[in-house]
Amino acid sequence: MENNNKNAVSSYFGALTFDHKAMRKKLPKEVYRALQKTIQTGNKLSEEIAGAVAHGMKEWAMESGATHYTHWFQPMTGATAEKHDAFLTFDKDGTPIERFSGGQLIQGEPDASSFPSGGMRTTFEARGYTAWDPTSPAFLMKGGKGLTLCIPTVFISYHGEALDEKTPLLRSMDAVSKSAIKLLGILGVAGISRVNTYAGAEQEYFLVDRKFYSMRPDLVMSGRTLLGAMPPKGQQLEDHYFGAIPNRVLEFMQEVEEELYLLGIPAKTRHNEVAPHQFEIAPIFERANIAADHNLLVMEVMRRVAERKGFALLMHEKPFAGINGSGKHNNWSIGTAEGMNLLEPGDTPESNIQFLVFLVAVLKGVYKRAGVLRASIASIGNDHRLGANEAPPAVVTVFLGELLEKVLDAIESGKVDFATEKQVLNLGLAHLPVLNKDYTDRNRTSPFAFTGNKFEFRAVGSSQPISVPNMVLNTLMAEAMDELADEIQSKIDSGVDKDAAIQEVLRAEIAATKPVRYQGDNYSENLQQAAADRALPNLKNTPQAMRVLRDSDTREMFVKYSVLSQEELDARLNTRLERYVKGIDIEARTLQLMLKTFVIPNVSEYQGEIAISFNALVDAAERVGVSGKTLKSQGGHLKELAESLGAVIDLTAELDAVIEKMDTLEEGFDMADYSADVVLPAMDKVREVADKLEFMVDRDKWELPTYSEMLFEH
Ligand code: ADP
Ligand code: MG
């Protein structure tokens, strides 16, 4: 802590991580140097230095008061998993000592029986091995009474199959590096040691008061409200967006940021989002695998701080029906380890051509693999955004903005000659970053937008780890770059001059990928029509999207670029279908419970009181001179109440039957389709009537906290 100002973030940034500073202090010089090299090259930790690194790491952690360590990893079920172990062991004569060996960094062996292997065979199915990803620093996590040393690890089976989502992400980054270096080589850029992808995740979330949250079984069990009518105010309150942040929320944000800084996570922006009680946090971008770890930590830290502050953190994609949902904008770029952003236009003809080549690679990859990209973000929660009446849509298209559209059109029509320097410069690419803010912000509805020197994949769900979408983006990019390189090379081999070869290939690819470029409003019917006309995949729900993972063409890509094997793909498909089915099952059963223990009894009670008071009124009517017309109106009210309650009772019985039938179906797509096509509609049907009743019943009788309370009370 060199900085004397205790409040300066720079004085404590990363203090809870085993970062360069801590490493230099705790490791012998040669070990430190070797480890730095490992980190830069993205290689595995070698056995020779593992022991010394482990020792240094343990000393550092214990100095800060840590007694336990955990391998921290990303299981296929999403989020993170950890298993804590004490440093404490006993030596030969029973003396207690603290130990942490190199083996625990290279190949720990937690009992993995509770983590799904997605049905991957192997006698050792229940066991998995962990190994530190040295590019992602170990850190100390607060929790309970003390600190725990967390080691970001990959998690693999006895036979080397990935049981986690980090391993495929790392493999996809290797694939990107290989293809990009090959393509750069053809463009005449030599001496590149490594190409990485980078990600920055803008994270949206809701905060609601914990007292309301704990009274809502749906929020507790499924993260979203399964009942609840839109408040009269709703989202008309647009002043929330970029408005003043309520003080209690500000305190929450400040505490979150402080913890994130300690963990070396560069949280940068905070602001209100579109909906009431919705907010956003965005860190500065990092290497994609580290960004993935950090995004998980952001979610975890926010969850804990929220609890401390009396809030519940809602990460669900659609916690409130009829109100803007939450997403995660995954900003993504590709660049050399030396710091050259390959999606950044430059001011020389060469750098502009290089930019165009990589831009076209993105178009090619996203066009060819739009379905896989859609599948990468499919989940129950996200289905309520994608494919519903909300942006971004389920159709993956690319938004480039007016200027780039013009540039690509000019190239396609042959108006630009790459051999003429001036023409390339005249494309105006150098001005792109300046223009970017203005012209990209005009289309917030696009699921995949170019924003100056990166793409912003906006369809990712707020609760989803970003490993999977980035893994898919990287893989499709590796494939596209590889194919572009081959196309250009084969022209050169047949005697075409290099500039001409590049130009011809780009021209052809720009024309071929045109259907994926969409500049219009993605909310609108036009997009649906365009998707049909252009034969773009329009996968409305998770089971539909997951079918892409069965296509042999999809699978060949993952296998060819050594990202996922056939077996690993099956494991992911099975796990995700199972999660989908189980998730909807939990929702349906929670709704059932709420209908039976809140809605029906609450409304019955109110109806009883109304009936008594109505009877009394009928008795007194003649005496006090109440007209028949008035009696009819009040009777009508009672009738409507009774009929709606009757409908809820009937529809609840229907839902019971629907849920029961689930057990008779075959696991996998059968169950998943049934969940999407039968269970969810049955839930919606009863909800519609129940929500109507909410506005007919005395507030004191309605036990569930309402949308108004959850969204407008601070
Ligand atoms: P917005 O206008 O969408 O708010 P910002 O410029 O604030 O965009 O950036 C949003 C996110 O994009 C941040 O996390 C930022 O660090 C990240 N980002 C910026 N440049 C890159 C890049 N080259 N690659 C990946 N992410 C980036
Ligand atoms: Mg953004």
State which of 196, 331, 437 you would mutate to test the pocket of ligand 1, scoring each by most atoms of that ligand within 8 A of its C-beta: 331
The length of the chain is: 714
Residue type, 377: I
132 backbone dihedrals φ, ψ, rounded to 5°: -60, 135
Amino acid (one-letter) located at 605: E
Q: Which atom of ligand 1 is nearest to the CA of 437?
A: 2
Q: Which ligand is nearest to the CA of 288?
A: 1
pLDDT of residue 231: 72
Separation CA 62–CA 65 (nearest Å): 5
Report CA torsion sign: 293, 298, 303, 308.
positive
pLDDT, tens digit, 9 for 90 and up, residues 261-274: 999 999 987 777 76
The pLDDT, as a whole number, for residue 122 is: 47
**Number of the ligand closest to the Cα of 268:** 1
Q: What ligand has the least distance to the C-alpha of 438?
A: 1
- Distance of CA 331 from the midpoint of ligand 1 (Å): 6
Q: Indicate the SS3 state at residue 285.
A: coil
Q: How many CB atoms lie within 10 A of CB 235?
A: 18
Q: How far is the CA of 607 from the centre of ligand 2 (A)?
A: 49
CA 187 – CA 174 distance, rounded (Å) = 20
* Residue 513 structure tokens: 């990928």
pLDDT given at position 91: 86
Element (H, E) at 199: strand 195-209
Structure tokens at 490: 């084969």
Q: What pLDDT was estimated at residue 2?
A: 47
Residues ≥6 apart with Cβ < 8 Å to 207: 249, 252, 277, 279, 306, 311, 312, 313, 314
Q: Residues within 5 Å of ion ligand 2 by Cβ? A: 329
- Residue 34's identity, in one-letter code, is A
CA distance 81 to 229: 36
What secondary structure, in 3-state letters, does 366-380 show?
A: HHHCHHHHHHHCCCH
Ligand 1 midpoint to CA 222 (Å) = 31
Residue 437 phi/psi, 5° resolution? Answer: -55, -45
Centroid of ligand 2 to alpha carbon of 365 (angstroms):
22
Query: Which atom of ligand 1 is nearest to 344's Cα?
Result: 23
Best substitution site from 454, 456, 474 to test ligand 1's pocket, by max atoms within 8 Å of Cβ?
454
Give residue for tokens 């893989």.
475
Mutate to test the pocket of ligand 1, among 173, 270, 285 (most ligand atoms within 8 A of CB): 285
Domains of the chain, each with CATH number or no CATH: 9-164 (3.10.20.70), 172-564 (3.30.590.10), 580-712 (1.20.120.1560)
326 in Cβ contact with 207 (< 8 Å): no
What are the average pLDDT values for consecutive 10-residue runs of the chain, which has 714 residues? 68 94 96 93 86 95 92 84 84 88 75 62 58 92 86 86 93 97 96 95 95 97 95 55 72 94 90 81 95 96 95 96 92 95 88 94 98 97 83 89 90 85 72 51 81 94 97 98 98 95 96 95 87 94 97 98 96 95 97 98 98 96 94 96 98 98 94 98 98 95 94 74
Tokens of 491: 């022209």
Whether the Cβ atoms of residue 585 and residue 682 lie closer than 8 Å to each other: no
Phi, psi (degrees; rounded to nearest 5) at 205: -160, 165
Write the CA distances from 365 to 292, 397, 509, integer angstroms.
22, 12, 11
Contact at 8 Å (CB) between 361 and 506? no
Strand ranges for 37-145 from DSSP E: 68-73, 81-86, 88-90, 96-98, 128-132, 139-143
Output the CA 294–ligand 2 centroid distance in Å: 18
ipTM: 0.96
CA–CA distance, 287 with 289 (Å, rounded to integer): 6
Instruction: Output the ligand 1 site: residues, CB below 6 A.
Output: 198-200, 202, 282-285, 331-333, 341, 453-454
